[in-house]
Structure 1
């Protein structure tokens, strides 16, 4: 692993792709969506997990579940699995009225179960790199530039777990955090994906580049398509904000810009869908 990384660092110095970022008027219309407004001030709770699949994954994980709230109405199916695992792990179970559950999650669909947890423990960027080294693989990182919709963060985390991403990096400000909605949208995958929250995204990108990791940004004005790109080495892909795309300064930090081929009349993709397509291309290239 170390030898391959050294080789890749050398490649960075000698054969860095020609940057044409200055030619782009960065609006990222390809990845523009009509998701939740960036001005929304709704604060997502980070101390609960809702929905059966998400709760099951949380029970199987290493996180601390303080209390499990179960609806006192007749429930069947996977709820019995949840109760069984909770009892095995000696988690406190409380049967409550459905209205109590509704009020706890502000009307979100809870499927009769809510877990009160210790807030999500974020990883460090070094933890993500250490995981890749432990697996003997080139780092595969997803960087989210101010993704604000928790549903998008959850969907991206679910796809990332399936496609072998070693970790996700998000900024501390103007970004969705791991919340009940994220847990549910990820179908519990958030328990198996490392997420690092950093103060300065661009400084972090520079540090990754110094470690030999190529950084790719998604932009409709790129000259190279995602399927034409060689992702076999250490790489990080950047997915931009739902409305604004990748910020201009962050675009300038990219080694290369890539785009997704489209033939329809609409030239925009949901952020999580765009991320999923790019992650698939990375995995496909690594399986060759």
Structure 2
């Protein structure tokens, strides 16, 4: 991001000194990013897949120590997970570094998209999402939708450890993640930087698919609440538009990560239509 130095405004909060990361996607992402201090790579002895060999090569190119461990001993050394969960490789690394200010999240010198350009910049803010699997799934969707980053709180928020990283398929290792003491103040900071705040709310007055484009372009912060509880009343007061996803069946709501996917990719679809990458009047089956 232009003007923002890597590592500027970063901090680590309530994290163990060393995280044990498992899964090839997670380890690849951690090795490729600069968001963790890399400590040690452990590889099961014996025949290795091309994917594991490539990870070992990457680790050594980063100056990381690589150790072999006896077969079927990764679970004994690192926990009670079945051996196949480790996929023959484990990375010890420091906690995921996070940003501490909204300015660092969006980039202090980054210009807002010009009015009428149809471009958008998105931040996803989470209000009380404490399940690391939900956090990871949202991070995976957010990275796929090319958002600027995630805005979390220091408390009432899921840890950024191995569970979240595995659920994100490593996406959270690549994302900008900002933790702030107070979500409402964080949203105020986004508003001062020109963001509209959109809150996902099953009782919202605006239908997502019927919202005018002008409300969903430029800078948009999408706020998602906890499973079952939704957005807190104090958070709703900061929301500019309460948006609902129209439901057609008997189920009254979606999982928070599924809802985030629907909203983010509706924003992405609209941008693609405006850019001419998608013809809204033509189906994929048309010649």
What is the TM-score normalised by the length of structure 1?
0.79
Cα offsets for 1:252-273 (capped at 9, x unmatched): 2100100112111111211111
| Structure 1 unmatched ranges of 5 or more | 1-42
- SS of the residue 1:264 aligns to: coil
Higher RCO (CA 8 Å, separation ≥ 6 residues): 1
Query: RMSD of the TM alignment (CA)?
Result: 2.2
Mapping for residues 103-118 of structure 1, pairs under 5 Å: 103-107=77-81, 109-118=85-94
| 1:82 corresponds to | 55
Runs of 4 or more consecutive aligned structure 1 residues displaced over 4 Å after TM superposition: 43-46, 134-138
| 1:279 corresponds to | 264
Paired residues in the alignment total 246
Correspondence 1:178 to 2:160: yes
Maintained 8 Å contact 1:51/1:184: yes
TM-aligned CA deviation for residue 158 of structure 1:
1.2
Cα offsets for 1:197-233 (capped at 9, x unmatched): 1100111112222222110111111122112223112
TM-aligned CA deviation for residue 90 of structure 1:
2.3
Inter-CA distance 282–258: structure 2 relative to 1 (3 Å threshold): same
Select 1:51's aligned residue among 20, 23, 44: 23
| 1:257 corresponds to | 242
- SS of the residue 1:257 aligns to: strand
| Structure 2 unmatched ranges of 5 or more | 1-14, 114-118, 275-287
Select 2:96's aligned residue among 117, 120, 125: 120
TM-aligned CA deviation for residue 195 of structure 1:
0.4
Q: How far apart, in 1, do the equivalents of 2:133 and 2:149 lie?
A: 18
| 1:162 corresponds to | 144
What is the TM-score normalised by the length of structure 2?
0.79
Compare the two structures and name the one with the higher helix fraction: 1
